[in-house]
A and B are shown apart, each in its own frame.
Chain A
Amino acid sequence: MTRHDRFGGFAFVLPFVGFYSFLLILPFFMGLWISLHRADLFGARKWVGLDNYVRLFGDPVFYQAMGTTFTLALLIVPALTVITLLLALALNRATRSAAIFRGLFFSSSVLSVTIVTLIWRFVLTPDAGLIAKVFTAVGLEPIPFLSHPDWTIPAIAITTIWWGLGLPMMLFLAGLQQIPQDMYEAAALDRASRWTTFFRITLPSLRRTTILVVMLQTAAQLQIFGQAQLLTSGGPSGSSRPIVLYIYEIAFGRWELGYAVAAAEVLFLLVLVLTLAQYWLSTRKEDAIR
């Protein structure tokens, strides 16, 4: 590669790297700097060193919020991955009904979080919601989905799964359509059963798509915010407050910008480490095969 070629390559990536650095890398380091201060939203800064981090790691509400966040991610990511894979398998055919259902299942994804939570509030609201009415009509005690600590997290998870079906389903559909048809023909000639075909051909061929879906969803669900804020406000007693809602409350309700940014930096590192770990774990086997 000549020097001229190298220069051309840099010229192509420079605009992206410039924007990326300006919008992500620079704010990350500015955030690190602010997190070392007692700071508010209006420019007040007082150097406190690592105090914000020390406070954070001694704050029971931070651990509660982290616990809620991981629980939500554990409930949502595997379920969403399996459900969307099954949907993609069912709808991977060139019929009109399949096209209609693909559109139908994708439609929830185009709604804003406000509309999604409004819909699910109508369904889940204790006492007056759709499910509560059905339970009352058959003489059962309504389930307090939005007011009992045992039910609020599942309620947020269900809402999120319904909302998030679209993109992973489309990714799986795209992945399925890239599997060469002759592999299935060869399997048919070998009289492989449907299960064998699925486990030996389809699933391994979707390996990279599955890794992508799991990584995207993990990163997204660790940053869950709107559904919790609008459905339960993080309650009751903070039991459904994810970490991003906690960060928002600290920054905009309490004006403790330094402390909020410290929590945000910790969250960023966690998302980064988890995503890299997932990637490493899922590609390790692939490397070994090569």
Chain B
Amino acid sequence: MKRSRFLLAMAAVFTLASCERVDDRPTLVIQRFFGECGAVYGRSIDVGKADTECGILTTILNRFIAENRDINVKVNVVAWPGYPQLAAQIAAGDPPDLVTMHQSVISDYQGRGLLAPLDQYLAEAGIDTDDLTLAGQRGAVKDGRYYAMPWDTIGRLWHINTDLMAKAGLMANGKPVLPNSPDELLEHARRFKAATGKPYLIQAQVSAPDYLVANLYTYLLAQDVQMFPDGRHIRLNTPQAREIVQLYKTLNTEKLTTIAQDFPAATASFVNGEGGIFPTGTWMIGPYDDAARASDSRLGGYAMLPFPRLWGNSAAFVDGHAWVVPADERTPEERRAITRFLKFAAQYNADWVRTGHLPALRAVLDAPSFRAQPHRSDIAAMAATGRQLPDYVQRQSAIQGLIGEELEAAVTGLKPIDRALADAERRVNELLAQI
């Protein structure tokens, strides 16, 4: 008897404990990557004092929550890039309301009808799409409609150790001298190695199949080569592609570059002054600038410039981050909550690009405060010259993986260049045929 009374009492306690006040606020589930840094920025709402992608975004979200108490905001932090998780959530019929997404990935979800068009949301948020940069517009428009609010443009740059370049006689008027042709690049690289004993390029070629692909895309786009004549085919085994891959193979063969390095090792090499130029992302400007300014720096002088014009025009293969809204049934209140967040996020675009990315808003790009940040005026042109793959190309991430794998084989000599490019073409075409 005593036991049954005790059990009943426990059941009553649990039942009462499980009751909570009904929250009639609209719920906004925001899903993002960029890492977890709650220990440092968990309670901070001072966006201006935050640093790094994770820190700045965390404080922006904290501030949005603090200033919008009438919205029940839930933040999901997912491991980069979080797309398998998003796909599982959508497949289970439980998508978040706002998601960070690379612009190159948007076509996959948009093409399958999994994203809501944002034209109306952007208009209601007071964001004039004409105020977006060209690169931002290209990244967010699919089939003539906006499916995302672009938040930045990211690309690769040549991060340069100016001390070593000076030793090799590759500085003029305080600026690095970059090559204007593939032959000149090899000549510079040989001269650099002879003068410094170090490799001209530092390259993160291990566990980074996208690295070589970004180089290939950049120089094919610079020559206006139409890689994707339509959404079902790639044309890759071309003389232009062979020439580009041959250049990178020669750099490897002559050891004018580091070879067996992943990204952390390559970054350590660059910061320790073990090579001349590290072609990597815009997001490393801040860390490298800090490293160069440190009192015990081994990097010496630091500069960065867009990829040199080796073929054709100035061009850069770029991507970008964006906010997307997975398709779902939503109440007017939930739609308004999304609109308010988009407006809020756009207002903080200037803070976001302290990460090193290029802004998605022209006003921020042209603002003196942006240009006053280290090296930003050197790369601002990428917001106009930066190019992406055509918006009808789906599975861009998977395609990069396939091409990267074959390029890796080509530059390391595992496969002849012709065969590697033919294999890449075949594998990508097989993939595209299945969509």
Contacts and interface: CB of A to CB of B under 8 A. Distances in A.
A235 to B, nearest CB: 6
B22 interface: no
Interface in B207-261: 207, 209, 258-261
A252 interface: yes
A185 interface: no
Q: Which of A144, A233, A259 has the most CB of B within 10 A?
A: A233
Contacts of A125: 262, 264-265
B369 interface: no
B395 interface: yes
Contacts of B258: 127
B405 interface: yes
Contacts of A149: 414
A42 interface: yes
Contacts of A236: 206, 408-409, 412, 414
Contacts of B409: 236-237
B261 A126 contact: yes
B398 A235 contact: no
Contacts of B268: 128
A40 B262 contact: no
B434 interface: yes
A48 B299 CA distance: 58
B84 A252 contact: yes
Contacts of B380: none
B91 A43 contact: yes
A253 B405 CA distance: 14
B112 interface: yes
Interface in B391-435: 395, 397-398, 401, 405-406, 408-409, 412, 414-415, 427, 430-431, 434
A65 to B, nearest CB: 12
A189 to B, nearest CB: 60
Contacts of A208: none
A61 B409 CA distance: 14
B108 interface: yes
B44 interface: no
Given A127-B269, A256-B434, A235 B264 contact: no
A31 interface: no
A254 B431 contact: yes
B90 A253 contact: no
B112 A42 contact: yes
Interface in A218-271: 232-233, 235-238, 249, 252-256, 259
B434 A252 contact: no
B260 A147 contact: yes
A77 to B, nearest CB: 26
Contacts of B427: 61
Q: Which of A44, A55, A236 has the most CB of B within 10 A?
A: A236
Contacts of B84: 252
A243 B381 CA distance: 44
Given A42-B114, A147-B206, A259-B434, A126 B395 contact: no
A252 B87 CA distance: 8
Interface string A191-225: 00000000000000000000000000000000000
A237 B87 contact: no
B259 A147 contact: yes
A146 interface: yes
B91 A41 contact: yes
Contacts of A40: 112
A249 to B, nearest CB: 7
Interface residues of A, number: 31
Contact of B261 (A42, A127, A238, A249): A127
A252 B398 CA distance: 9
Contacts of B397: 253
A290 to B, nearest CB: 51
Given A42-B91, A128-B265, A236-B409, A249 B401 contact: yes
A29 B112 CA distance: 27
A45 interface: no
A44 B91 CA distance: 11
B262 A146 contact: yes
Interface in B59-93: 83-84, 87-88, 90-91
Interface string A140-151: 001010111100
Nearest to B206: A147
A61 to B, nearest CB: 7
Contact of A235 (B114, B209, B415): B209
Nearest to B420: A237
A142 B260 contact: yes
A144 B206 CA distance: 10
Contacts of A256: 431, 434
Given A42-B114, A147-B259, A148-B260, A254 B395 contact: yes
Given A235-B207, A235-B408, A252 B262 contact: no
Q: Which of A126, A149, A249, A254 has the most CB of B within 10 A?
A: A254
B205 interface: yes
Interface string A6-22: 00000000000000000
Given A235-B405, A255-B395, A127 B260 contact: yes
Given A125-B265, A147-B205, A238 B405 contact: yes
B414 A253 contact: no
Nearest to A144: B260
Given A125-B262, A147-B205, A252-B84, A237 B108 contact: no
A142 B269 CA distance: 15
Q: Which of A43, A125, A148 has the most CB of B within 10 A?
A: A125
A124 to B, nearest CB: 11
Contacts of B395: 253-255
Interface of B: 83-84, 87-88, 90-91, 108, 112, 114, 205-207, 209, 258-262, 264-265, 268-269, 395, 397-398, 401, 405-406, 408-409, 412, 414-415, 427, 430-431, 434
12 contacts: A38-B434, A41-B91, A42-B114, A128-B265, A146-B207, A147-B205, A147-B206, A147-B261, A236-B206, A237-B415, A255-B108, A256-B431
Given A41-B90, A55-B430, A126-B260, 12 more contacts: A42-B114, A128-B268, A232-B207, A235-B206, A235-B209, A236-B206, A237-B409, A249-B401, A252-B87, A253-B397, A253-B398, A254-B395
Minimum-distance CB pairs A-B, first 9: A126-B260, A237-B409, A144-B260, A147-B206, A147-B260, A128-B265, A252-B84, A253-B398, A127-B265
